[in-house]
Homo-oligomer: A and B are copies of this chain.
Amino acid sequence: MSDDWLNKINWSEDGLVPAIAQDAVTGRVLMVAWMNYEALKLTAQKKEAVYWSRSRKKLWHKGEESGHFQKVKEIRVDCDSDVILLQIEQQGGIACHTGRESCFFSKLENGQWVDVDAVLKLPDEIYKK
């Protein structure tokens, strides 16, 4: 497979684009992380989400520590070619490092953020040493 398709992406100055992981079945938005050229290329090759960790400054094969890999069913890009949308199957049903299904568990209610989703598994159980 040629890599030409990667040249369509409008990478930011730091060489990144945001990537949304959406549950392919329920449609729930699970998380947003960042990808560089290599991460997006690997995501397409492996059919598993690979991001660029801005904090650790390295490629991050999602699930490499937790076992919560993201099987990629579809890759889309938006009209400006600067945001990626993945349809995924979330292994273990947990995308968030807090042990929740989705990273978007905090909801604005009457001027306050309220955590409305349950923790399915404690982080200590997810990231076993």
Contact = CB atoms under 8 A, between A and B. Distances in A.
Interface of A: 1-2, 4-5, 8, 18, 20, 22, 26-29, 31-32, 44, 74-81, 83, 85, 96-98, 100, 103-108, 110-113
Number of copies: 2
A113 B8 contact: yes
A85 B20 CA distance: 11
B108 A79 contact: no
A96 B79 contact: yes
A110 B27 CA distance: 24
Contacts of A107: 74-76
A83 B27 contact: no
A81 B96 CA distance: 13
B74 A103 contact: no
7 contacts: A18-B32, A20-B29, A44-B111, A76-B106, A76-B107, A78-B103, A85-B104
